[in-house]
Amino acid sequence: MNRIRAARQAQGWTQNELAHRANVSPRTIHAVEKGRPCRQATKRHILNALGVPWELREEYFVGARSVRRFAVREARSA
């Protein structure tokens, strides 16, 4: 199970309640719980609302996807 969803449910909150407390949209909470990436500021808002320390962010959010270097080079040479 997604750690954000588990933390939200442990608080007894709906997605809408977490969204309100984190000052983000319910759609953002839904996307995060589905494992989609989000901005660092969004992560900070959600973790603060849940009372989770920033240092534990990697345990709660999907890691950043790496950019393939050759794709970047091809785009620059075009």
Structural domain boundaries of the chain? Answer: 3-60
Per-residue pLDDT of the chain (78 residues; tens, 9 = 90+): 689 999 999 999 999 999 999 999 999 999 999 999 999 999 999 999 999 999 999 999 876 555 566 555 555 655
3-60 CATH, one of 1.10.260.40, 3.90.76.10, 3.40.800.10, 1.20.120.160: 1.10.260.40
- pLDDT score for 55: 94
Q: Looking at residue 68, what is its pLDDT?
A: 61
Q: Where are the alpha helices (DSSP H) in the chain?
A: 3-11, 15-22, 26-33, 40-50, 57-60, 69-77
Residue burial 38-75, b: 16+ Cβ < 10 Å; e: rest: beeebbebbbebbebeeeeeeebbeeeeeeeeeeeeee
pLDDT at 5: 96
Predicted pLDDT at 19 = 98
